[in-house]
A and B are shown apart, each in its own frame.
Chain A
Amino acid sequence: MNGFASFFQHLAASGIDLPYLYDSFDAARFWHGLLLTIELSVVTIAASTLIGIIGAWMQASRVAVARGIANVYVEMFRNTPPLVQIYFFYFGMSTLLPTVQNAYGQHLPLLGGFAWAALSLSLYAGSFSVEIFRSGIEAIPNATSEAAESLGFTRIKAYQHIILPLAIRICLPALTNNLVNLIKTTTLAYAIAVPELLYVSGQIWSDRGNVPEMMVTLLVIYLVLVGILVAFMRGLERALKKPGLGT
């Protein structure tokens, strides 16, 4: 045993038990939980931002059906609890889907807990992103789109090359807020037994009875994860900053 692990073993003997630093089994599952939380965060951040961009485009569409779908989607997911959404998808929807057979002939659901958690969290955060992008697009003066029009841009090209790049710069602070909330909301995957950080911490504290230490660890890790995201988004804001746009 190396000095690092033995130090924390001594620390455990003296009352502060941090098993993920000296026990290889706990370390492995804790590490996997942390990786899964990061993975879930990255996947849902990407997917929800994409949903936001597409949804905001649909809300400004000339096709009434597209507008209707976007509006109904936003209102439904904003006004219902994310936990119940996850249950609804994981328990309700997965029973309606066909099952697949694995190599041993067992019937398994088509999508696992991680996939359902990623899907429902993306849809939940995406509904907030749509509103955020919409407010960014609305903040762009009409003269800009008229200028694009006189330069011969089509609607989609104007959105892609002119409106969206400007709108993203305007709504970055609000988007950061939403993504911070999203990272915090990934803990809900706990409810459907996705072995993310909170879930493995729960396993460790029920095995070892070291609730206070694990709690403090959890809070610190989420603080760090959120800090990394906020630092990244601030960097993005600075990198994308155009003189004369915004304040």
Chain B
Amino acid sequence: MSEGRILPVIHHVGAVLKARGLPVTRLRAWHALLPLWLILAGATAHAASDPEAPGVLSILLRWSPLLLRGFVFNIIISLLSMLLGTILGLWLGLALVSQHSAIRAPALAATEFFRNAPWLVLLFFVTFMLPFQVEIGHFTIPFPGWIKAVLGLALAIMANVAEIVRGAVQSIHPGQWEASEALGFTRSQQMWRIILPQCIKRMIPPWMNLYAIVTMSTTLASIIGVNEVVTLAGQVQAAEGGRTDLLAPIYGYVLLLFFIYSYPISVWTRRLERKYATR
């Protein structure tokens, strides 16, 4: 191969750049922010053509506290549903690798059912199937929409976590089971003291990926009437007189909020994936 000439083959990008003596640049977080800011700026210019109307940026700034509060609510929903879904999913996943088919079969059915059902349908399911309040004796416990959203998301998370647990347990070399059995551990001791601790490393990257998806899915709660950031975005637009030129910047702003929260998580996840893959 002659020096410096790139032959018509797909090389790795970095290799091609190096061969041409070009610097290898990596994508940074802010690169993806550019298009969103362009949209915001474009909309600002659009609004500026009508001098009567207040600028888009000043409107966004004015409503930021409300929208940010809504966004924090999204985060709370995502964390609670992830916590609940992980606890349930761990047990369901252990049932999936059980030695008794009487435990395995219903666990498999539940996992497949909740994994293949659309999340929005699950949310509707929980919303309509659960009562608005529960009366125990003289006490009335209200059941607000956001708790139902947490429960609905937790059902979907449970099935996905169960798959992650099953995949990780089955990826452990069978020699680990045999060795621990030879050392006299019981089946449950083998699982909890030998196998699961080794699984944690393999489960963390897919679990974090799942969390990113859950964060995105908290916006579904707006459809069942929870006052989270997407609902509030619609209300802000209505409060500003329903100006249609505000729609793009407001939803762009919401996209930006999610991006800022989610992008670091996805970068971190990829780093962990690479780190654990080389072991």
Contact = CB atoms under 8 A, between A and B. Distances in A.
A238 interface: no
B189 to A, nearest CB: 33
Contact of A145 (B11, B117, B223, B252): B11
A212 B129 contact: yes
Contacts, number: 162
Contacts of B22: 64
A179 to B, nearest CB: 12
Nearest to A69: B35
A61 B223 CA distance: 41
B9 A149 contact: yes
Interface string A1-43: 0000000000000000000000000000000000000000000
Interface string A61-84: 110100110011001101111111
Contacts of B223: 83, 190-191
Contact of B9 (A68, A158, A184, A223): A158
Interface in A54-105: 59-62, 64, 67-68, 71-72, 75-76, 78-85, 87-88, 91-93, 95-96
Given A95-B244, A146-B9, A184 B266 contact: no
Contacts of B129: 211-212, 215
B124 interface: yes
Contacts of A183: 118
Interface string A162-183: 0100000000000000001001
B116 A184 contact: yes
Contact of A185 (B8, B118, B254, B262): B118
Of A61, A67, A95, A153, chain B has the most CB atoms within 10 Å of the CB of A95
B113 A223 contact: yes
Interface in A129-165: 137-138, 142, 145-146, 148-149, 153-155, 157-159, 163
A240 interface: no
Contacts of B120: 187-188, 190, 198
Contacts of A85: 255
A155 B10 contact: yes
Contact of B13 (A59, A76, A148): A59
A79 B116 contact: no
Contact of A91 (B36, B219, B247): B247
Contacts of B128: 205, 211-212, 215
Contacts of A158: 8-10
B263 A79 contact: yes
B contacts with A: majority SS: helix
A contacts with B: majority SS: helix
A145 to B, nearest CB: 4
Interface residues of B, number: 57
B32 A79 contact: yes
A218 interface: yes
B228 to A, nearest CB: 11
A159 B121 contact: no
Interface string B98-140: 0000000000000011001111110011001100000000000
A212 B130 CA distance: 11
A195 B218 CA distance: 23
B121 A219 contact: yes
A155 B7 CA distance: 8
A233 interface: no
B48 interface: no
A47 interface: no
Interface string A214-225: 010011001100
A88 B251 contact: yes
Contacts of A72: 27, 31-32, 34-35
B8 A226 contact: no
Interface of B: 6-13, 16, 20, 22, 25, 27, 31-32, 34-36, 46, 112-113, 116-121, 124-125, 128-129, 212, 215-220, 222-223, 230, 233, 244-245, 247-252, 254-255, 258-259, 262-263, 266
15 contacts: A62-B20, A71-B31, A78-B266, A79-B263, A80-B259, A88-B248, A91-B248, A138-B12, A149-B9, A155-B9, A180-B116, A187-B119, A190-B120, A198-B124, A227-B116
The 6 A-B pairs at the shortest CB distance, nearest first, are namely: A92-B248, A88-B251, A81-B216, A184-B118, A149-B9, A79-B262
